[in-house]
Amino acid sequence: MKPFPYSRLVFLLLTAAFGSYLGFLLYGSLKAQFGNDGENLSGFGKFLASYVLLVAGVWVLGWLNYRGPFRWWFLASEKRWWYWTWIAALTWLVFELLQFRQDRELEFVDENSLVTLVLVGIIIGFGYIADAFRARREQLVLQQQKTEAELTALKSQINPHFLFNTLNTIYNEAAGAHNDTVADLVQQLAGIMRFTLQESAKPYISLESELAFLDKYLTLQRARLPKHDSIRLDIHIDYDGQPARIAPLLLIPFVENAFQYGISMEHPCFIRMKLYVENQTLDFYLQNSTIAKEAHRKGHGVGIANVQQRLKLLYAHRHTLKIKEENSVFEIHLQLNLY
């Protein structure tokens, strides 16, 4: 049972009391100034309403500017000058509207210029403040997800040293029996476990480590699949070797999804993967058949949804992700700036 929100009740009571007190004073002030002069009172009401509408209009314009040009252009460094061009055009428009309101009287030019700068300044400031609150919310969400992931990892780490020792024992037995295939697979599995338990706890790792982990996973998947002509795997990875960092386990959910929902033992199926990294820009292209999707429809796409959220939080405005499915083919194209 949730505790009663006393703090909210106190806030509402205090706000209501202050509003009533202010209303009482305002009523007394208007009564003293205008008495029963309805015409002047009506004129003052229109004057007050015009200011309320002005404040509301500036707020709405600031919100629209943030939701539109600010997020489209300002947050994308390569398009930032388009944002300032829009601000210049908006400044001119506001000034012209104020001039029109004053019948273009020259004596109001200085006043209209000052009001224009104040209004446009408020609109620009609204964008910065709103984006700061958005970044703070996303940071809190990311921190919460990180904490939950750490707790989940702790729950799964049931004496990992025992597991590693067991794998080493199996590896030694396989090597002693000259079974190089089994020994290599055990070594790959140990590498995957070590990476998952150690490297994944870091916020960022070297790209070489992520690609090495991906290679171990692909090696195990190739080993477990039968050598059938109906199962086609086309994997190509090209890395220019320039130092780069990436969030750990960022690519593996896409590959896991392809093997889980794209491989069938009864029907022809395929996976095509191309990964290029050049000048700290990652280009990842993945296609797989969806012949096996019906058997696993309930869990399809959960891992990909999690990756989309991570990309949004960690690589905002630094990535593009396109996902589509048609003609029994599931396709993913990810472009990511690693710098």
Residue 153 predicted with pLDDT over 80:
no
pLDDT one-digit tens code per residue, 214-232:
888 888 788 778 888 888 9
Nearest alpha carbon to residue 246 among 310, 188, 302, 305: 310
CATH number, domain containing residue 312: 3.30.565.10
Per-residue pLDDT, 28: 76
Q: Which of 114, 139, 154 is the last residue of a domain?
A: 154
What is the amino acid identity at position 189? Answer: L
| DSSP-derived 3-state class of residue 212 | helix
What's the domain range around 74? Answer: 48-154
Task: Report H helices in 102-203.
Answer: 109-156, 160-176, 180-197
pLDDT one-digit tens code per residue, 155-167:
454 445 545 555 6
Whose structure tokens read 């040009």?
A: 69
Residue 320 predicted with pLDDT over 60:
yes
Number of domain units in the chain = 2
For residues 68 and 189, the model is more confident at 68
Q: Which of 125, 154, 183 is the last residue of a domain?
A: 154
Per-residue pLDDT, 116: 85
Q: Which of 138, 154, 170 is the last residue of a domain?
A: 154
pLDDT one-digit tens code per residue, 9-64:
888 889 889 888 887 887 777 677 666 666 666 666 666 776 677 778 888 888 88
Answer yes or no: is 298 within a domain.
yes
